[in-house]
Amino acid sequence: METPPVRRLELALTDFAERYGALTRAREQMRALSVTACSRDDVVEVTVGADGRPASIRFVDERFREMPAAQLGDSVMDALSTARAEAAARFSAAMNSVGLPVQASRDTPRPRPQEPLWGRRSASAHVPLPPDLRAAVVALTDSVCDAVRCV
């Protein structure tokens, strides 16, 4: 027996609300994300946010004063790249936890999901949506995709 359109809409909206809630929680995690890493020589400590931008650079002790400029620069870059790699890994894990792909660059447009963000994904359970319901769900999907770009 076919599910009535009103019930399908209720199920789609319930599923959307759950996914939107998970996305909102992941977004809050990203806003609070802060990673601190130390250089291999333990001279420099760098803290970055989810976007990889340095929030602070700290010299652990006075050894930096005796280092040649190039060596000190290498220490800063070492700590920065370690912190960025960890931030990227945490960002990716949070996005994957809500089923969203992570793009390589924040400047590259994110592709739209090929699967719907609602309902079951098995072919046997797929029931075509009426055009007006499909338009509403596509609009909700677009809103989620836009929200992810604003993380």
Q: Which CA distances in Å does 106 have to 63, 102, 110, 139?
A: 36, 9, 8, 23
Domain count of the fold of the chain: 1
pLDDT band at 5 (very low <50, low <70, confident <90, very high): confident
Q: What is the mean pLDDT of residues 15-41?
A: 86
Q: What is the pLDDT of residue 31?
A: 84
pLDDT, average across residues 110-115: 51
In a domain, 22, yes or no: yes
Mean pLDDT, the chain, whole residue set: 78
Task: Look at residue 142 and tell me if it is in a domain.
Answer: yes
Q: Is residue 143 part of a domain?
A: yes
| Structural domain includes residue 28 | yes
Q: Is residue 111 part of a domain?
A: no
- Name the band, by pLDDT with cuts 50, 70 and 90, for residue 57: very high
| HEC secondary structure over 87-132 | HHHHHHHHHHHCCCCCCCCCCCCCCCCCCCCCCCCCHHHCCCCCHH
**What domain range is 58 assigned to?**
5-100+118-149
Is 137:116 a contact under the CB 8 Å cutoff? yes
Q: Please check whether residue 110 lies inside any domain of the structure.
A: no
Angle, vertex CA 113, rays to CA 86 and CA 116, nearest 5:
125
Q: Could you read off the pLDDT of 64-102 as tens digits, one per residue?
A: 999 999 999 999 999 999 999 999 888 888 777 777 666
pLDDT > 90 fraction of the chain, expressed in percent and rounded: 32
Asked whether residue 64 is assigned to any structural domain, the reply reads yes
Q: Is residue 126 part of a domain?
A: yes
CATH number at residue 142: 3.30.1310.10
